[in-house]
Structure 1
């Protein structure tokens, strides 16, 4: 039994164990194997492992073609063809049809073959009938796209298969392709302060930031994930635990910039009232974003704007534009709007109902008759949530256009989260593809010594392939639509993902393999279609050879200064950074430069009980003191050590502006193609955006606001000093 269990687990991509970052081997237990196999919807509680594997293999043999084939342009097309032995003497015709819209669905290639003449790969008996597997080799294709291969026997349509043809490499913007290096700020959009926003950064602020960046000589603006969260639960704020990665967070709407605002007297009067203005001043003054209060204020006015929109004549240009958008919009919009309408309906009945697993059973299947009836019954609510998405997309489209007008060579740089919240719209729409009894995470490392459980359900690899990778394509396409660059969070998930058994401990998790070559090719295809640079976040436990494969596919590596070390622990010199990379001083999950220098992150971890012992805390404190010396050492090696009274080599309390500017000048010297500067580092913030391993009740994650208002950025001495240092090293446009 143990042997067959291990064999089934390996067949499904479940690893035998893992090495942590310290080199220790953690073998997978049989309990973990069973739990993860069950999470893959395999009946390990009813059938023996060898019987389950036989069923899986039989299912493959019973399908003439695989569920999808992914190839690169110019790569020969090799297919495993499964046939009844009795059909092997027959002749077959084949043709490749271009996707709809691609050359009008033209036939790209065609031909005939006799199966008996193909190279045999094996035989299998299923239910008393003999099957033969043959190797079908077809000519290569040079047109990228989502095509279809059609096979017919004796002139009758027989079977089809999605055929995805991808470019050899991902897209690079001309500025980088021609040898240039770009830079720009990176912000948590919610944290932007301005005179105009309502206590949270919005798309209007983002447009202003694009202008500031262009004037400073920057070419890229980095952002946290803009994914949709939960309209009915604004206290759920992590951008990395979204309801859907294929929809936008409408809390970022600039309400006063919405087209309906100018024509809605009721909304303008409400906003202009002394009472409402006092609310806005209070929200703007807070150090942390008050999400529920911001959501309440925006909702009150947006509902008035919706009423105004509904009162417009059916033939008005604005209404016609929305109806055209609804008619032309792809599946994700309709599915997300329907989810939002249903969630609002059930939450209004019982506010404890949060997420589709808590809905009445008849509504949990998006294809059920009850859901179809509810879509008609709540059509106005579905329209409302679609209108919100339309409004958000219109504002983000305008920001992207502003970036082009300002001459930014790359434009917006957005972040794609590694997964979606199990209770949200994406999990509801694709629930058959997600493993419902497991979650994604990471093995123990220096940042999380007990391992991490992110609470996000992973894709089941075989189910993902059975959909021809539709969920993966959907989120890539929607996130690249308005971006000049995208960062794939935890890019290693394309090759393997750490699964944590449901209800278990992260230390009991194990890696599960994914079809890396296929997913990487799809990234390249969507990258070219959307003219979007791709950065693969490759921090943490990285598989051997993974970075080399990313580089060969023209994905940029992700290199924070804090982690860029030599084998002896000293910091890498500028020339040791790869060209094909994005460099940054820190990230949202790491200490700011000021926090790093003062050890603020270590203090916060101690307060939250993240150290296993006092001895461990003291070891990290001592290591940080050594790292401060290492920073000064590497800066001195480049002639950049700042002469400043604010730097005490023995017991520094803070990193002053000169030191931070020196680090950014150092990073600007690297050959790396992209440099992003965290807004928190520009203005000397001490606290980081997120402290991994903590919840909001222990640490105010995802709510800290930037100290300086946007209107004051350009005149701020710290901003000017950092920009000057970077531009002197990288040049200006």
Structure 2
């Protein structure tokens, strides 16, 4: 009877039947939740496809490892293996029921195995990967690097249009590089929804393979500068008045900024179309379209169609609520739209090309400054359910579920991010091509890639459609294969990898990430021993990025003054007031432990004691905390401009959407003001010197 019960309880090996919750307790997953997720993954279909195969769809091995493949079927077969460059590497013949063992020496890369049984041919992708991710020379030499981690949209400057842009990014790179910084890290800059600009979360993108065109620096676009029509519009009283309005706001006016930029860029597009077909920029644009293929086409087609439909009905937020004839990307109605609106689709391709060129220019500038890393991008954990990726590739995504997080201390109700999970069975069936393409798109023109919620390589919390965030289950992913591919692309793209491993981190992935050379994330507020005492900077992990705080946590000042608890209580995020009071008490204890650690780090009691008593952040304490973490043994240190400027308001409050102005808050100073500030310059000079003084440990 006991065995019978277990068999009935286990719906699928990919779906967890229980997990350890934030309180360390075993939490059972209801059977109906498991069943809903099983159906969202395609039910029995993936398993039936696997049974029909002669060989598996893909085999991933580390370089030097033997390659052995099981063969299904009772007949003899022929096989041939071609390398990534199309050359025949080996071929042979085997009898029935024998495993195919390939000779050693297959080079790194993506290779193609064809197995033939009579009239039936089966294909297997053989992926040979290195054992570790790429590291820049400076880290191999055990240098301790630092940089700025910025929310690009939050930057103010004398020239931008009410939102940070790639022109500001270039300026930021220049200022940080001149002060000894090694990188500028970014929030995700994936494509969002230009037709619905208030959908502003960088972690809920339409596509992770393309850019958010709102970051285009319009004033740097040649055809904007040279277009008489654009310049007349630009210098008009109405335009300058609108521009002043969006620049002066405390929060980004996404709708106002988008309207201004699209008006300007459409005028510039008309000028671009007048260029001779042999013009250098025209040729480069056409080449870009050819190289980027279907992916770019669908991105442009989606944005063009979405803009058209939103003009008709503002409730058409995404394809699930579009008129039925447009809900399938390959439909005849979509095809007809692309033909009749070819110029509009081309315009959106052009915007992606502009964004790509400007971002590449920023990367080039960081290289000219000899910054060891230069730029590091942030890759979101998934895409929103109503965007271009789910629209153009319905099979890859399980849209009957969404990604989130189970309840924990910081989010007691759990989280549902409205992000569609990739179906792991489809991913394997396609030989991991979507994952490879995703990495290449995000590793291009940067020296490091931060993978948000890196535990997604092992498992993701899936929530069935219509259920609360707490009613979900973990779905497993082929972590060893994904890490191997990550290492291969990292080495090829010369792009190191940082994994955001905060929250509930399964023990089985920690050592895997370390062995593959994926850098961990270390937050000052969480770095303590079993007695809650702050870990000494010299004891921090070397293979890691150290930070004071993150975009999902309060600013330094917000943490110190418990402003996050105040906001959370106002927004109803803490229904258990007893627990809230306990969290407040724990915060005060943690602050005192940090003060004690600062005192042992040559900070006098006089400089810190009064701040603990009044619960306020002083300039001296701010500087000492920066100095303290700059002494971290971690190879990388990422600092937020918000903390240089002693800002209180957080950029994001997890668990909220419209309740708080997430992803909108700007910096309180322009770039010009910030980098002429004696206070900021003194802080960064101290950080730079402190990083130079540290003796590091090898991270190999």
TM-score (norm 1): 0.91
- 1:732 CA drift (Å): 8.8
> Which of 81, 86, 94 pairs up with 1:114?
94
> Partner of 1:543 in structure 2?
506
CA distance in 2 between partners of 1:194 and 1:647 (Å):
36
- Structure 2 residue ranges without an equivalent (≥5): 695-700
CA distance in 2 between partners of 1:460 and 1:59 (Å):
14
Equivalent pair of 1:641/1:662 in contact (CA under 8 Å): no
Q: Map Cα deviations across residues 418-464 of structure 1 (whole Å, 9 max, x no partner).
A: 01110001111222121111111111111101111111111121111
CA distance in 1 between partners of 2:641 and 2:610 (Å):
21
DSSP 3-state at the match of 1:508: coil
> Which of 311, 320, 324 pairs up with 1:348?
311
CA distance in 1 between partners of 2:106 and 2:630 (Å):
38
CA distance in 2 between partners of 1:666 and 1:732 (Å):
13
DSSP 3-state at the match of 1:292: helix
TM-score (norm 2): 0.95
Corresponding position: 1:6 with 2:9: yes
Q: Superposition pairs for residues 194-593 of structure 1, below 5 Å?
A: 194-593=157-556
* Residues matched between the structures, number: 691
CA distance in 1 between partners of 2:251 and 2:293 (Å):
36
Q: Report the CA distance shift for 1:231/1:141 in structure 2 as closer, same or farther (over 3 A).
A: farther
Q: Report the CA distance shift for 1:364/1:144 in structure 2 as closer, same or farther (over 3 A).
A: farther
CA distance in 1 between partners of 2:606 and 2:208 (Å):
46
> Partner of 1:649 in structure 2?
612
Moved beyond 6 Å, runs of 4+:
none
Corresponding position: 1:140 with 2:109: no
Equivalent pair of 1:217/1:732 in contact (CA under 8 Å): no
> Which of 668, 671, 677 pairs up with 1:707?
668
> Which of 653, 657, 666 pairs up with 1:695?
657
DSSP 3-state at the match of 2:283: helix
DSSP 3-state at the match of 1:92: strand
Deviates more, 1:232-241 or 1:719-728: 719-728
> Partner of 1:25 in structure 2?
26
> Partner of 2:684 in structure 1?
723
Q: Report the CA distance shift for 1:328/1:642 in structure 2 as closer, same or farther (over 3 A).
A: farther
CA distance in 1 between partners of 2:527 and 2:365 (Å):
34
Equivalent pair of 1:175/1:409 in contact (CA under 8 Å): yes
CA distance in 2 between partners of 1:538 and 1:289 (Å):
29
> Partner of 1:667 in structure 2?
629
Equivalent pair of 1:193/1:710 in contact (CA under 8 Å): yes
Deviates more, 1:403-412 or 1:359-368: 359-368
CA distance in 2 between partners of 1:142 and 1:197 (Å):
51
- Structure 1 residue ranges without an equivalent (≥5): 43-51, 119-134
- 1:617 CA drift (Å): 2.2
CA distance in 1 between partners of 2:141 and 2:571 (Å):
48
Deviates more, 1:523-532 or 1:341-350: 341-350
DSSP 3-state at the match of 1:640: coil
- 1:571 CA drift (Å): 1.5
- 1:599 CA drift (Å): 0.8
> Partner of 1:121 in structure 2?
none
CA distance in 2 between partners of 1:158 and 1:701 (Å):
52
- 1:645 CA drift (Å): 7.6
CA distance in 1 between partners of 2:332 and 2:137 (Å):
50
- 1:347 CA drift (Å): 2.4
DSSP 3-state at the match of 1:231: coil
Equivalent pair of 1:17/1:28 in contact (CA under 8 Å): yes
CA distance in 1 between partners of 2:224 and 2:663 (Å):
29
> Partner of 1:36 in structure 2?
37
> Partner of 1:98 in structure 2?
83
Equivalent pair of 1:73/1:140 in contact (CA under 8 Å): no
